[in-house]
Chain A
Amino acid sequence: MPPPDDPPSTTTAATKTSIIDSLGVEIVGVMSPVSICMLLVVLILTSLSSPSTTSSTSPPPVTAATLIYVESDSDSPSHKLLGAVLDAAAFVALIAAATFVLVLLYYYNFTSFLKNYLRFSVFFVLFSMGGSIMASLLQHFSIPLDAPTSFILLFNFAILGVLSVFSPAVPILLRQSYMVSVAVIVAVWFARLPEWTTWVLLIALALYDLAAVLCPHGPLRILVELASSRDEELPALVYEARPADSSHPVSPPASTPVASLGSVEMQPVSEASNSNSSSVDEEERSPLVSSPPVVRENLSNFNHEQVRESNNSNHAVVEMETGESETLPLVEREGFRSSSNSDSEFEMFDSTRGIRLGLGDFVFYSVLVGRAAMYDLMTVYACYLAIISGLGCTLILLSVFRHALPALPISITLGVIFYFLTRLLMEPFVVGASTNLVMF
């Protein structure tokens, strides 16, 4: 059947916006940095790993995770497993102790000490650990860059990172990039651990995370409750998936940010409004879904003055007076009756804080994918998909449960399962078929 002369016009469809246009923005906003982090870690590891894997004589780095037992190739599997379990137990105990110390310090308001410690640790990670990675990359690719120049560049990079982690005046995109860089550098270092130790450590950390966030006396849960009872930001290095076009300090500055090695929980979009109609619909169970269009229009239409004049300790409440034309674009678009609902406005504004994911989650996802990359690319893709789907499940659970949830357990479990399934089952099948050019 020949196509008609005039193509069907879809103008009527194009002028109306469909609901799938803006659904799931926040989920993708969290998944993209996780994907970018994993991609960078895989790239760095695959380009740097070839000289070291051929020489098995290079000793693994002496870290907290290899305190008890250092794996060597000549041991039997049961010996390796036992050693790995001991190592993982020691590491988890260390992390738990550090988190308890953190909670104590936060409880007694040693905030400036914590803040400076965090600054120092970010500088250390970016300058010294990042510097050694940069040195090996320069060496590997034979890039002609002399030592003083690279020192200056590295120093600037590290200092800017330190500044951007705390100051609310720094653009959100820069802060997000530095968070991802810190996670990439730490993950590259962790991925150098021996194989069995890495896997057992990941599983142990997933279990610890589950316990620490969900048990009533778990350290992370205490931390979250303290922070929310004081109405402050959570004292940890977190990645905030706020929309990048916001240039205003919408939420209160992180007053007590604290380094937390096991910062592995997610905070929900607090009290996110899910009403584009005039009544707050309690049954609406998709806050992540409907708030984004509201949020983005809000942020791009607000003026500085409006934000500042109505700042209180927790939210920057914006009085949406019906006379103000700047705020009305949102009103006109959504048919929102703003005069009667200051409640929903409060809630709507809370939701601009966005989903927050701890940096520890980034690190351990990337460690898992990096370790999978050391075997083969097929396992990398399988583990990537498993982790992303675990993250999606966790986000959905977050919208259902509405309090802080551990982000590690589901993803790590799925990742480990998929890694071993792919390595043992799928690889012989697929490689055998595709090398004979038989595909389906």
Chain B
Amino acid sequence: MRCRLDSLSLIVCLHLLSIDGDDDKGERSQIGDTMTVAAGVGYVLIALGPALSLFASVIAKKPFLILTLLSSTLFWLISLIILAGAWRAFLPVKSTELWPYSILILTSVGFQEGIRIGFWRLFKKMEDMLNAFADRVSKPRLFLTDKMQLALAGGLGHGLAHAVFFCLSLLTPAFGPATFYVDKCPSIPFFLISAIIALGFVIIHTFSMVIAFNGYTEGKRKDQIFVPFAHLIAALITLINLVPGGCNIGLPLLCIMAGTTLYYSWQLVWRRLTEHQTTRSSD
């Protein structure tokens, strides 16, 4: 069943799809059910796969990182609620014009980058507290890898929150037997597009936090400017999706942006670790 409606009635459509799917469950064969559950699980894994593997390999081992992840997710949620509260009076925004959405994106990205600086200040305070605690129990202070892991956990929290609120919460109908296409993008199912965009943003959020923390700690302008810039460009790229057929261009560009952020952070971390290693070995 194809549901070609505009976004205003999307919520109605989503609920209809989920109810329809379940009513037919008794008559449908088991294979049809598992196929659609598989599709839903597939979309979830596309959006969250790298995040889950990062979680399992790095973060799940240290409970403190789990707590950092949860608090940074909460932070992002609160910032989103504040943004939504500020924009509530202007909603719903007409999807045919570009400029309301661009203002929305500019304000949202600006606000979130401001929050990132606040987050970094909190992180500094926490680092000082942890170092003081380490001195009291006569254990070594925080290593560079620790700080980077904390930054990674913080960024992953932001990315996870983005994926959950922008992608996963709309994925419920994907577990049923139907799919949905947006008017502007008739070639790719809506769920797949949002999953891929969520994947891109998870990577961007995670690694830009690492870059940002390193940049603020070292005081390097280049890193500090890179992060808001990358975030803004990525968000503006999604504006291309408003144009009919634009998602065919927007999606690859977003993936390129995510790859750029990943590469930049890789270079940065590599450089810092080698510098740290050489300074330690030269002592």
Which residues of A are interface residues toward B (Cβ below 8 A)?
A: 1, 3-4, 8-10, 12-13, 16-25, 27-28, 31, 50-51, 53-54, 140, 142, 276-277, 281, 284, 286, 289-290, 335, 376-378, 381-382, 385-386, 388-389, 392, 418, 421-422, 425-426, 428-440
Contact = CB atoms under 8 A, between A and B. Distances in A.
A243 to B, nearest CB: 12
Contact of B170 (A3, A20, A389, A435): A435
B265 interface: no
Nearest to A274: B137
Given A436-B242, A437-B238, A438-B239, 14 more contacts: A13-B143, A13-B144, A20-B64, A22-B63, A24-B67, A50-B19, A386-B74, A392-B67, A425-B88, A429-B84, A434-B170, A439-B197, A439-B238, A440-B231
A188 B22 CA distance: 20
A27 B143 contact: no
B169 A381 contact: yes
Contacts of A421: 81, 85
B85 A19 contact: no
A1 B271 contact: yes
Contact of A21 (B62, B83, B167, B250): B62
A386 B194 CA distance: 25
A137 B165 CA distance: 29
A386 B65 CA distance: 18
A422 B161 CA distance: 14
A389 B157 CA distance: 14
Contacts of B150: 20
B133 A8 contact: no
Nearest to B234: A440
Contact of B7 (A21, A22, A27, A435): A435
A426 B146 contact: no
Interface of B: 7, 10-11, 18-19, 22-23, 25-26, 30, 62-67, 70-71, 73-74, 77, 80-81, 83-85, 87-88, 91-93, 95, 101, 104-105, 108-109, 112, 130, 133-134, 136-140, 142-146, 149-150, 162, 164-172, 182, 184-185, 190, 193-194, 197-198, 201, 231, 234-235, 238-239, 241-242, 247, 250, 267, 270-271, 273-274, 276-277, 280
Contact of B274 (A4, A12, A18, A54): A4
Q: Main SS of the interface on chain A?
A: helix
B164 A381 contact: yes
A286 B133 contact: yes
B92 A425 contact: no
A27 B169 CA distance: 27
Instruction: With a 10 A CB-CB cut-off, give which of A12, A22, A50, A434 has the most chain B CB atoms.
Output: A434
Nearest to B138: A277
Contact of A439 (B83, B133, B201): B201
A19 B142 contact: yes
Instruction: With a 10 A CB-CB cut-off, give which of A9, A19, A440 has the most chain B CB atoms.
Output: A440
Contacts of A418: 77, 81
Given A1-B271, A430-B84, A436-B101, A277 B77 contact: no
Contact of A437 (B18, B63, B83, B241): B241
A292 B22 CA distance: 47
B84 to A, nearest CB: 4
Nearest to B246: A437
Nearest to A20: B64
Contacts of B10: 431, 435
Contacts of A429: 80, 83-84, 87-88, 91
B238 A440 contact: yes
A87 to B, nearest CB: 28
Given A1-B267, A389-B74, A440 B105 contact: yes
